[in-house]
Amino acid sequence: MDGPTIQSILREHYPAFEKAHPLPVHVRDAVHAMLCCRTAALGGHKQSCPEGHYTHIWYNSCKHRACPQCAYLQKAQWLEAQQVRLLACEHYHAIFTIPHDLNDLWLINAAFMANLLFHTVRDVLLQMLADPRYLGARPGIILALHTWGQTLILHPHIHCLITGGGLDGEQWKAVSNGFLLPVVKLMEVFRERLLSALRRALSKGDLELPAGQTGEAMEKRLGKLREVKWNVHIRERYAHGEGVAHYLARYLRGGPIGNARLLPAPAGKVCFKYYNNHDKDEAGRGKPDIMTLAADRFLQRLFLHVPPPRMQTVRGYGLYANAKAEVLDRCRLLLGQGPVEKPEKLDWHDYWGGKDDHHPECCPVCGKRLIVGASIAPQQQSPKSPLVPRPGAPLVPIPALPQAA
C-alpha cells in the first residue's frame, strides 16, 4: 500500500514510545498483533497459477479487533448477521455522550465505566419507551460504544439503533407521528441515572479515583455536572435499520482510524484527514480538514481506544437481545416477515466477490484461480515487549484537550 499505514507508523515510532510511556498489557498485545499482521511472523501459504504465470505469498492476518488492516471480513460478517434480524419497521439513530469532565475517570476505569454507560442507556431507553406517554411497548435496541472523536481524542459515546415501535402484549405498536422520545427529557433522565450510578459506585469503592482526587471532591464534581446540559441526540429516522447498522459496522473493529485517512507527513509527524465539526458547511456538516501531530502524540491518542480484553463494544437489548429469538420471530410475523434464518458464514471469497474486476486469488495474466500450495511456517517471534508488562497500568492522560472535533 502506497503512503503511510498504522503498521508503518508503529514500526517506526512505537519502540521509542514504549520506552517512554507505561502501557497496559492489552495495548502492548494489540501493537504486537498489528506489527505482525500479514507478515512472515504469522506464517502463511503460497498460491500459484496452474499455467505457471504467477506465484503469490499470502501471509496470515492477526485478526485483532484494533487492527485496521484485517478487520473488513469480520465487520462484513457481523453486518450480514444483523441484517437478517432487523425488523421491517422504521428505526432511529440516537447518541448518548458523557461529559469530558469524566474523561479522567474513564481513563483509569475504562471497563467499569463502559459497562455503566451501556447499562444506563439500556435502562433509560427501555423504561421511557415502555411509558404509555411515549411508545408504551418494548423496542429492539442495538448499542455500540465509540470512545473517539474525529481527532482521536477521548470522547466516549454510545450510538443506538432503536426500532420505531415495539411489542405491546401480543400486538406491534408503532411510534406516533414519527416521534420517538422528547430529547430534553431523555437527556435529563440519562444524566440523573448515570450520575446516581457513579455516586453509588463511589460510595462502594468501585471507582479508582484520579491521583490527588478525594471522594469528597469527586462528589462535588458530580454535583456540578447535574447543572449542565449533556449531549444526547435523536438523529436520523430511517425507513429500515440497515443505514444505522452499516454505520455501526464501520466502527465494530479496526480501531478509530483507517489507513485511508493517513497522509504523508514530515519526519516525526503523523498527518491525517478529519471532518472539523467546529467549522461546518451550510448543511451543518463538518468541513474536511487535516491534522498534524507529533508521532508520540498520535500514538498516545490511538492507544486510548484499544478496548480491554473481553469487553463487548456492541450489545443488543429488548427485542434485539440475543436471548429473545422467539420474541423477535413473533414480532417479525406481526410485521409480515418470516422467522430469522441464520445466514451461512460469509467467507473471504464471497466477501471479495463483485468488489472489482480483479480477484486477488486469480492470475493477473490468464485469470484462472490460483492453486493453494505449500504452507509457510510462522517465523520465530520476538517477545511482545522488551519491557516488563505492568498489568493495569493506565495510559498517560492527554492534557488540556479541546472538545471532540
- Is residue 109 a part of any domain in this protein? yes
Q: Nearest CA to 145 among 164, 158, 135, 130?
A: 158
Confidence band (pLDDT; 50, 70, 90) for 370? confident
- What per-residue confidence (pLDDT) applies to 380? 57
183-216 pLDDT, tens per residue?
Answer: 999 999 999 999 999 999 999 999 999 988 899 9
- Is residue 289 a part of any domain in this protein? no
The phi-psi region of residue 43 (left if phi > 0; otherwise alpha if psi is between -120 and 50; otherwise beta) is left
Q: How far apart, in Å, are the Cα atoms of 369 and each of 26, 200, 218, 364?
A: 39, 61, 63, 10
Place of cell 515487549: 385
- Is residue 141 a part of any domain in this protein? yes
Say what the pTM is.
Answer: 0.87
Which whole number is the average pLDDT over 5-27?
94
97-135 pLDDT, tens per residue?
Answer: 999 999 999 999 999 999 999 999 999 999 999 999 999
The phi-psi region of residue 325 (left if phi > 0; otherwise alpha if psi is between -120 and 50; otherwise beta) is alpha
- What per-residue confidence (pLDDT) applies to 400? 35
Percentage with pLDDT > 70 across the chain: 90
- What per-residue confidence (pLDDT) applies to 251? 74
- Is residue 374 a part of any domain in this protein? no
Q: Nearest CA to 126 among 191, 197, 184, 181?
A: 181
Q: Which residues, other chains included, contact 239 with Cβ-Cβ below 8 Å and sequence gap of 6+?
A: 90
Our CA angle for 178, 180, 183, nearest 5°, is 120
- What per-residue confidence (pLDDT) applies to 91? 94
CB-based contact 6:259 (threshold 8 Å): yes
CB-based contact 144:307 (threshold 8 Å): no
Cell numbers of 243, please? 443505514
308 pLDDT more than 90: no
- What per-residue confidence (pLDDT) applies to 395? 43
- Is residue 123 a part of any domain in this protein? yes
283-292 pLDDT, tens per residue?
Answer: 777 899 999 9
330 pLDDT more than 70: yes
State the total domains in the chain. 1
State the number of CA atoms in the 13 A half-sphere of 65 facing the CB: 18
Residue predicted with more confidence, 158 or 82: 158
249-281 pLDDT, tens per residue?
Answer: 877 788 999 999 999 999 999 999 999 888 877
Confidence band (pLDDT; 50, 70, 90) for 350? low
DSSP secondary structure code for residue 355 in this structure: S
CB atoms within 10 A of CB 266: 8
Is the Cα torsion angle 129, 134, 137, 143 positive or negative in sign?
negative
Mean of pLDDT over the chain: 87
CB-based contact 370:49 (threshold 8 Å): yes
392 pLDDT more than 80: no
What crossing angle do the helices spanning 25-36 and 6-20 adopt, rounded to 10°?
150
352 pLDDT more than 80: no
386 pLDDT more than 60: no
Cell numbers of 302, please? 490511538
Domain that holds residue 319: 72-256+311-334
CB-based contact 118:158 (threshold 8 Å): yes
- What per-residue confidence (pLDDT) applies to 344? 75
- What per-residue confidence (pLDDT) applies to 349? 59
- What per-residue confidence (pLDDT) applies to 303? 96
- Is residue 250 a part of any domain in this protein? yes
- Is residue 228 a part of any domain in this protein? yes
**Sheet with strand 286-294: strands edge to edge:** 262-263, 269-280, 286-294
Q: Among the listed ranges 181-190, 239-248, 344-353, which one has the minimum average pLDDT value?
A: 344-353
391 pLDDT more than 60: no
- Is residue 275 a part of any domain in this protein? no
Which whole number is the average pLDDT over 4-16?
96
